[in-house]
Amino acid sequence: MVESNHTQLDVLFQALGDPTRRAMLRQLAGGEQSVTDLARPHAMSLAAASRHVKVLESAGLIRREVRWRTHMCRLNAAPLAAAHDWLAFYRQFWGERLDVLEALLRAESPAAAPALPTPDTGETT
């Protein structure tokens, strides 16, 4: 099961690694679009756009439906939860380290330490 999860994350991050595919996902967040619509802002051929769509579809990030001769795509954001969960570990990791750094800096020179905004309120401490 662990191997399967890593493979799924690898495919997901590979799909997200391309700026054109990320832009296509952003477009689809606004609603269903055809492959032609997805290609238009990127000045690319329909064939190139179709290859990007296939990568996104393989990663499970979009669903494609053929209506007559038009391929319609819609966002499937559920797989992004796996990436979010994986990244959450590092968010906590760095948050803890930055808290330790802040404590060390305050302990070293309390009078010279500038007031830092709190993350939730923006107020200074």
Whether residue 59 is predicted with pLDDT greater than 60 in this model: the reply is yes
Whether residue 123 is predicted with pLDDT greater than 50 in this model: the reply is yes
Pair of tokens at residue 98:
């930055």
CB 77 within 8 A of CB 26: no
Q: Which residues of 77-112 are buried (b: 16+ CB within 10 A; e: fewer)?
A: eebbeeeeeeeeeeeeeeeeeeeeeeeeeeeeeeee
Whether residue 30 is predicted with pLDDT greater than 80 in this model: the reply is yes
Whether pTM > 0.75 for this model: the answer is: no
Q: Where are the domains of the chain?
A: 2-75
For the chain, give the percent of residues with pLDDT over 70.
82
Domain at 2-75: CATH code: 1.10.10.10
Residue owning tokens 């996104």: 56
What is the average pLDDT across 18-28? 97
